[in-house]
Amino acid sequence: MTSPTPAKRPLGQRFDLERIVLGLAAPVLAVLLSLVICSLLLLSSGRDPFKAFDVMFTYGTASDGQVQIINKGVTYYLAAVAAAFGFRMNLFNIGVEGQYRIAALFTAYIGSQIDLPAFIQIPLLLVTAMLAGGIWASIAGVLKVYRGVSEVISTIMLNAISLAVVGLLLVPGIFAPKTGSSSNSIQTAPISQSSHFFSIETAGGTLWGFFIIAILVGVGFQLTLNRTRFGFDLRATGRSESAAQASGVNVKRMVLTSMAVSGALAGLIGMPTLLQSSYTYGTSFQQGLGFTGIAIALLGRNSPIGIVFSALLFAFMDVTAVQLPLQGDFPQEIVAVMQGTIVICVVVAYELVRRYGLKRQQQKVGAELAAQAAAAANKEVAA
Amino acid sequence: MRRSLKLAAVMLSGSLGIASLAACGAKSTDSTSASAGASGSSGIKVGMAYDIGGRGDQSFNDSAARGLDKAKAELGVQVNEAEAKTGEAESDKEARLKSLVTAGYNPVIAVGFVYQDAVNKVAKDNPNVKFAIIDSASADQPANVTSLTFSEQEGSYLAGVAAASKSKSHQIGFIGGVQSELIKKFEAGYTAGAKSVDPNIVVDVTYLTTPPDFSGFNDPGKGKEAAQGQLDKGADVIYAAAGSSGAGAIEAVSTAGKWAIGVDSDQAAQPALAKYKDHILTSMVKNVDTAVYTYIKSVKDGSPLTGVKNFDLSAQGVSLATTGGHIDDIQSKLADAQKAITSGATKVPTAPQS
Do the domain assignments include residue A379? no
What sign does the CA torsion over B255, B259, B263, B269 have? positive
Looking at the structure, tell me whether residues B199 and B70 fall in a common domain.
no
Looking at the structure, tell me whether residues A320 and A346 fall in a common domain.
no
Shortest Cα–Cα distance, B87 to chain A (Å): 5
- Closest to A322 (Cβ–Cβ): which among B95, B185, B211? B95
Do the domain assignments include residue A160? yes
Q: Are A59 and B28 a contacting pair at CB < 8 A?
A: yes
Domain count, chain B: 2
Do the domain assignments include residue B307? no
- Closest to A284 (Cβ–Cβ): which among B1, B117, B210? B117
Rounded to whole angstroms, the Cα distance separating B48 from A339 reads 27
Shortest Cα–Cα distance, A170 to chain B (Å): 8
**CA distance between the termini of chain A:** 61
Q: Are B213 and A167 a contacting pair at CB < 8 A?
A: yes
Looking at the structure, tell me whether residues B192 and B253 fall in a common domain.
yes
- What is the CATH number for B263? 3.40.50.2300
**B354 vs B304 pLDDT, higher one:** B304
Task: Give Cα A40 distance to the centre of its chain.
Answer: 29
* Amino acid sitting at position B331: Q
Do the domain assignments include residue A312? yes
Looking at the structure, tell me whether residues A152 and A295 fall in a common domain.
yes
**Angle at the Cα of B271 (from A332 to B51), degrees rounded to 5?**
35
Do the domain assignments include residue B228? yes
Instruction: Please write the tens of the pLDDT for every residue from A338-358.
Output: 888 888 888 888 888 888 888
Looking at the structure, tell me whether residues A204 and A260 fall in a common domain.
yes
A&B contacts, CB < 8 Å? 193
Contacts of B113 in chain A (CB under 8 A): 183-185
- The pLDDT value recorded for residue B162 is 94
Instruction: Please write the tens of the pLDDT for every residue from A91-122.
Output: 999 999 999 999 999 999 999 999 999 999 99
Task: Tell me which of B150, B173, B208 is where a domain ends.
Answer: B150
State which residue of chain B sits closest to A172, comparing Cα positions: B181
- C-alpha distances (whole Å) from B255 to each of A70, B124, B141, B249 are 51, 50, 46, 10
Looking at the structure, tell me whether residues A227 and A99 fall in a common domain.
yes
What are φ and ψ of residue A57, in 5° steps? -65, -40
Instruction: Please write the tens of the pLDDT for every residue from A273-297.
Output: 999 988 989 888 888 899 999 999 9
3-state secondary structure of A185: coil
B25 touches chain A (CB under 8 A): yes
Do the domain assignments include residue A382? no
Looking at the structure, tell me whether residues A207 and A86 fall in a common domain.
yes
Shortest Cα–Cα distance, B196 to chain A (Å): 24
* E strands, chain A, in order: 199-202, 205-208
State which residue of chain B sits closest to A65, comparing Cα positions: B28
Task: Tell me which of B107, B123, B150 is where a domain ends.
Answer: B150
Instruction: Please write the tens of the pLDDT for every residue from B259-292.
Output: 999 988 888 888 888 889 899 999 999 899 999 9
3-state secondary structure of A90: coil
What sign does the CA torsion over A202, B95, B118, A282 have? negative
Looking at the structure, tell me whether residues B268 and B333 fall in a common domain.
yes
Q: What is the three-state SS of B236-303? A: CEEEEECHHHHHHHHHHHHHHCCEEEEEECCHHHCHHHHHHHHHEEEEEEECHHHHHHHHHHHHHCCC
Do the domain assignments include residue A60? no
Q: What is the three-state SS of B48-97? A: EEECCCCCCCCCHHHHHHHHHHHHHHHHCCEEEEEECCCCCCHHHHHHHH
Contacts of A68 in chain B (CB under 8 A): 91, 95
- Closest to B10 (Cβ–Cβ): which among A10, A67, A170? A10
Do the domain assignments include residue B316? no
Contacts of A181 in chain B (CB under 8 A): 181
Shortest Cα–Cα distance, B12 to chain A (Å): 7
Question: Is A260:A134 a contact under the CB 8 Å cutoff?
Answer: yes
Element housing B109 (H / E): strand B108-111
Contacts of B87 in chain A (CB under 8 A): 286-289, 292
Strands of the B318-320 sheet, one edge to the other: B202-209, B171-178, B237-241, B259-264, B280-286, B318-320
- Closest to B15 (Cβ–Cβ): which among A68, A203, A308? A308
Contacts for A363 with CB less than 8 Å, ≥ 6 apart:
none
* Amino acid sitting at position A97: E
Rounded to whole angstroms, the Cα distance separating B167 from B237 reads 6
State which residue of chain B sits closest to A188, comparing Cα positions: B212
Looking at the structure, tell me whether residues A107 and A36 fall in a common domain.
no
Rounded to whole angstroms, the Cα distance separating B69 from B293 reads 9
Rounded to whole angstroms, the Cα distance separating B281 from B260 reads 6
- Closest to B211 (Cβ–Cβ): which among A283, A289, A319? A283
pLDDT of A233 strictly over 70: yes
Looking at the structure, tell me whether residues B145 and B157 fall in a common domain.
no
For residue A18, the enclosing domain spans 1-45+334-373
Q: Beta strand B131-134 with B318-320: parallel, antiparallel or unpaired?
A: unpaired
Looking at the structure, tell me whether residues B118 and B171 fall in a common domain.
no
Shortest Cα–Cα distance, B348 to chain A (Å): 14
Contacts of A72 in chain B (CB under 8 A): 89, 91
pLDDT of B40 strictly over 80: no
What are φ and ψ of residue A232, in 5° steps? -65, -45
What does the pLDDT average to over B212-229? 89
Looking at the structure, tell me whether residues B159 and B121 fall in a common domain.
no
B100-B106-B108-B109 Cα dihedral, nearest 10 degrees: -150
Q: Are A223 and B4 a contacting pair at CB < 8 A?
A: yes
Looking at the structure, tell me whether residues A254 and A359 fall in a common domain.
no
Do the domain assignments include residue B263? yes
- Closest to B211 (Cβ–Cβ): which among A167, A214, A226? A167
Q: State the ipTM, two decimals.
A: 0.81
Looking at the structure, tell me whether residues B179 and B251 fall in a common domain.
yes
- Closest to A211 (Cβ–Cβ): which among B15, B82, B212? B15
**B3 vs B109 pLDDT, higher one:** B109
Q: Are A333 and B85 a contacting pair at CB < 8 A?
A: yes
Rounded to whole angstroms, the Cα distance separating A38 from A336 reads 10
Instruction: Please write the tens of the pLDDT for every residue from B166-211.
Output: 999 999 999 999 888 888 999 999 999 999 999 999 999 999 988 8
For residue B279, the enclosing domain spans 152-285+322-342
Q: pLDDT band for position A1 (50/70/90)?
A: very low
Mutate to test the interface with B, among A9, A178, A184 (most CBs of B within 10 A): A184
- The pLDDT value recorded for residue B20 is 45
Looking at the structure, tell me whether residues A38 and A168 fall in a common domain.
no
Query: In angstroms, what is the C-alpha Rg of chain B?
Result: 23
Lowest-confidence segment of A89-93, A318-322, B235-239, B324-328 by average pLDDT: B324-328
Do the domain assignments include residue B310? no
Domain count, chain A: 2
B96 touches chain A (CB under 8 A): yes
Shortest Cα–Cα distance, A288 to chain B (Å): 6
Q: Are B82 and A182 a contacting pair at CB < 8 A?
A: no
Element housing B310 (H / E): strand B308-311
Instruction: Please write the tens of the pLDDT for every residue from A171-194.
Output: 888 888 876 555 667 888 899 999
What does the pLDDT average to over A242-255? 91
pLDDT of B114 strictly over 90: no
Rounded to whole angstroms, the Cα distance separating A17 from B37 reads 54
Contacts for B108 with CB less than 8 Å, ≥ 6 apart:
B46, B47, B48, B49, B97, B100, B101, B122, B129, B130, B131, B132
B286 touches chain A (CB under 8 A): no
Question: Is B226:B241 a contact under the CB 8 Å cutoff?
Answer: no
B335 touches chain A (CB under 8 A): no
Q: Are B22 and A218 a contacting pair at CB < 8 A?
A: no
B157 touches chain A (CB under 8 A): no
Do the domain assignments include residue A66? no
Contacts of A211 in chain B (CB under 8 A): 15, 19
Mutate to test the interface with A, among B11, B28, B97 (most CBs of A within 10 A): B28
Looking at the structure, tell me whether residues B133 and B192 fall in a common domain.
no
pLDDT of B3 strictly over 80: no
Do the domain assignments include residue B273? yes
Looking at the structure, tell me whether residues A217 and A317 fall in a common domain.
yes
B256-273: burial string, b at 16+ Cβ within 10 Å, e else:
bebbbbbbbbbbbbbeeb
Q: Are A227 and B350 a contacting pair at CB < 8 A?
A: no
State which residue of chain B sits closest to A76, comparing Cα positions: B89
Do the domain assignments include residue A62? no
Q: Are B212 and A288 a contacting pair at CB < 8 A?
A: no
Rounded to whole angstroms, the Cα distance separating B101 from B80 reads 11
- What is the CATH number for A111? 1.10.3470
Looking at the structure, tell me whether residues B129 and B158 fall in a common domain.
no
Contacts of A224 in chain B (CB under 8 A): none
Do the domain assignments include residue B165? yes
Looking at the structure, tell me whether residues A195 and A343 fall in a common domain.
no
Which residues sit opposite B172 in a β-bridge?
A: B203, B237
Looking at the structure, tell me whether residues A363 and A214 fall in a common domain.
no
What does the pLDDT average to over A371-381? 83
Mutate to test the interface with B, among A64, A171, A289 (most CBs of B within 10 A): A64
* E strands, A4-94, in order: none
B2 touches chain A (CB under 8 A): no
Looking at the structure, tell me whether residues B146 and B215 fall in a common domain.
no
Q: Are B4 and A59 a contacting pair at CB < 8 A?
A: no
Tell me the percentage of chain B whose pLDDT exceeds 70: 88
- From chain B residues 137-156, the ones with a CB under 8 A of any chain A CB are 137-138, 149
Q: pLDDT band for position A47 (50/70/90)?
A: confident
Do the domain assignments include residue B16? no
Q: Are A185 and B88 a contacting pair at CB < 8 A?
A: no
- The pLDDT value recorded for residue A179 is 66
Looking at the structure, tell me whether residues A79 and A194 fall in a common domain.
yes
Do the domain assignments include residue A38? yes
Task: Tell me which of B97, B123, B150 is where a domain ends.
Answer: B150
Question: Is A117:A131 a contact under the CB 8 Å cutoff?
Answer: no
- Closest to B22 (Cβ–Cβ): which among A204, A288, A304? A204
Find out whether the peptide bond into B212 is cis, omega within 30 degrees of 0: yes
Looking at the structure, tell me whether residues B128 and B90 fall in a common domain.
yes
Looking at the structure, tell me whether residues B258 and B338 fall in a common domain.
yes
